[in-house]
Amino acid sequence: PQDAWLWIPDHTEVWRVTEITRGYKEGDTTLHLLLEDDSTLPYPIELQLPPLCSLWGAHDLVALSHLHEPAVLHS
Give pLDDT tens digits along the chain (75 positions).
Answer: 556 888 888 899 888 888 989 888 888 899 999 998 999 999 898 877 777 776 555 556 665 566 667 766 666
What's the pLDDT at 9? 87
Number of domains in the chain: 1
What's the pLDDT at 26? 84
Cα angle 57, 60, 62; round to 5: 105
What's the pLDDT at 42? 92
For residue 65, the 8-state DSSP code is S
* Structural domain boundaries, residue 1: 1-74
Integer Cα distance of 52 and 65 in angstroms: 10
